[in-house]
Amino acid sequence: MTATPSPAPREALATFGGGCFWCTEAVFSRLAGVLRVTPGYAGGHDDDPTYEEVVMGETGHAEVVQVRYDPAKVAYADLLEVFFATHDPTTLNQQGVDVGTHYRSLVLWHDEAQKAEAERVVKALDASGAFPDPIVTEIAPYRAFYPAEAYHVDYYARNGREPYCQRVIRPKVEKLEKAFGDRLR
């Protein structure tokens, strides 16, 4: 008698830090198969940090997004591809004008498969010369996530006409639409 395979999980979790979480949230929230994107803080040592504490640089946390997704509709490898294509993973503790350890490029893996896939993607991108400089993205185990304050949620959707949104977030969204238009909702 053959065992019936278990169905694939309908929801999985990925955690990425690509600089400002407003940008990263705006990008991932447009992808087909993504169920929810939550901005927050992770990768540090203080419990339940506030935005003000994180930007002071003393908590060790980065601005991140937690991406809940349907792995039957979008693969973790696809999320990594979008992540690396929509921010600069070669600048240490900086994304454009946003500077500080809380803006570092970061992949927090939830299991060994995610860790291996993230390491494989970084190695392949470095070998391909996709970026002029080596990737400095931190790949670390996920430990805890602290949701950001409510005013950070859906920031671009609510404030898209603001100068920061137009100068910084909109170009990332446009890049996503051009490069990954077939993967959008």
| Alpha carbons 55 and 57: distance in angstroms, whole number | 5
Are 122 and 135 in contact, with CB atoms under 8 Å apart? yes
12, 13, 14, 20: which one is catalytic? 20
Strands 34-42 and 145-147, by their bridges, are antiparallel
165 is catalytic: no
Taking CA atoms, 156 is separated from 115, 132, 163, in Å, by 30, 29, 11
Are 33 and 70 in contact, with CB atoms under 8 Å apart? yes
Q: Which residues pair with 42 in a beta bridge?
A: 62, 145
Which amino acids are annotated catalytic?
20
